[in-house]
Copies of this chain bind each other. A is one copy, B any other.
Amino acid sequence: MERELIRWLQARVKPHPAIDLGIGDDAAVLRAARDGRIVITTDMLMDRVDFVLGEVDPRRIGRKALAVNLSDLAAMGAWPTAAFVALALPRTGGLELAKQLYDGLFPLANEFGVAIAGGDTNSWDGPLVISITAVGEVSDHGQMLRSGARPGDAILVTGSFGGSILGRHFDFTPRVREVLRLRDLHRVHAGMDVSDGLSLDLSRLCEASGCGAELDLSAVPISPDATRLAEMRCDGQTPLDHALGDGEDFELLMAVAPDEAERILTGQPLDVPITRIGQFVSEPGLWTRDASGRRVPLTPRGYEHGVT
């Protein structure tokens, strides 16, 4: 089966300037960018955790598996070059499923110039697992880290948040072009992508930077999906709750000096809106203001893999 899939893939994968040797040998050989630095990230998606096989077109699953990795590269300010795809497929229908997964990720790979350079194809009696490792190059501006936010910096985000489970978690566009364009024009102190929930990921950025953050909750851009989800569920969670804790938005969360932030907000240099949702502060932790203007703690919420 693996041999048939390898031939099927080899017929579809185009030559890529960064790939000396692609699919078919024991490993791939890549060439690093001029400065010799490469960025690598890995993300594993599993049936009934990140998608439900049978309830969604497998092409959207394949696309998502690559997109979450490209989002991680965007979060570093890196441009993607190659991806490696490891699959655990069901024994029955596995080959056809594999082709559908690839058919879903190929258009995204082509859009961002990503070579599918290798992988590992397996079958078993368990549920579908798709684990992708993506490789990229940092731009001339260097890598963008989670550390680097300073008290006083504005908290900027792209896009809007919440309710991605209604479909956006499959079809989002990784913010690769956006982060490169923004850093071409402006200085960004720190950044990451929002994968596990806006407030949880913000608390992680704060932790990495050794500071805290004060959120202006009225400024958080709420996705129409968050509003729809709150209406559908009627479980007491507000659209804002969804925006703060749902996760899988795959938008950018950044720390930018106040004057630079003003220029970004006025200029709006991206196709997606950029919004200021608060500022970084020296006190660790997440904060907001209550109705009387008093600073109160905000509990970070989001998705964490629970095990004991």
Chain A positions within 8 Å of B, measured between CB atoms, are: 1-3, 20-21, 24-32, 36-44, 46-49, 72-73, 75-76, 78, 82, 84-95, 117-127, 129, 131, 133, 135-136, 138, 143, 145-147, 192-193, 208, 304-308
Given A76-B29, A208-B24, A305 contacting B41 (CB threshold 8 A): no
B41 touching A20, Cβ below 8 Å:
no
Chain A contact surface mostly: strand
CB neighbours (8 Å) of A308 from chain B are: 91-95
For residue A93, give the distance in angstroms from its CB to the closest CB of chain B: 7
Contact of A120 among B44, B47, B89, B122 (CB under 8 A): B44
Contact of A133 among B39, B42, B91, B126 (CB under 8 A): B42
Give the docked Cα–Cα distance between A120 and B196 (Å): 13
Give the docked Cα–Cα distance between A120 and B41 (Å): 9
Give the docked Cα–Cα distance between A21 and B76 (Å): 11
- Which residue of chain B has the shortest Cβ distance to A87 in the bound complex? B44
For residue A90, give the distance in angstroms from its CB to the closest CB of chain B: 7
Give the docked Cα–Cα distance between A87 and B37 (Å): 26
- Which residue of chain B has the shortest Cβ distance to A3 in the bound complex? B304
Given A28-B39, A75-B27, A118-B40, A2 contacting B305 (CB threshold 8 A): yes
Contact of A78 among B27, B38, B48, B88 (CB under 8 A): B27
CB neighbours (8 Å) of A42 from chain B are: 84-86, 118-120, 131, 133
Give the docked Cα–Cα distance between A92 and B305 (Å): 11
Give the docked Cα–Cα distance between A259 and B151 (Å): 70
Contact of A26 among B3, B41, B44, B91 (CB under 8 A): B41
CB neighbours (8 Å) of A127 from chain B are: 124, 126
Counting chain B CB atoms within 10 Å of each CB, the highest count among A20, A44, A73 belongs to A44
Counting chain B CB atoms within 10 Å of each CB, the highest count among A84, A131, A193 belongs to A131
Contact of A40 among B3, B28, B304 (CB under 8 A): B28
Contact of A122 among B39, B94, B305 (CB under 8 A): B305
Q: Which are the 3 A-B pairs with shortest beta-carbon distances?
A: A94-B307, A27-B41, A26-B75
Contact of A306 among B20, B30, B91, B208 (CB under 8 A): B91
A122 touching B86, Cβ below 8 Å:
no
Contact of A1 among B37, B93, B147, B305 (CB under 8 A): B305
Give the docked Cα–Cα distance between A305 and B119 (Å): 14
Q: List 21 A-B contacts (CB under 8 A).
A: A25-B75, A25-B146, A25-B208, A26-B73, A26-B193, A27-B73, A27-B76, A27-B78, A27-B136, A28-B39, A28-B41, A29-B143, A30-B40, A40-B117, A42-B133, A44-B87, A44-B122, A46-B129, A91-B306, A122-B305, A124-B127
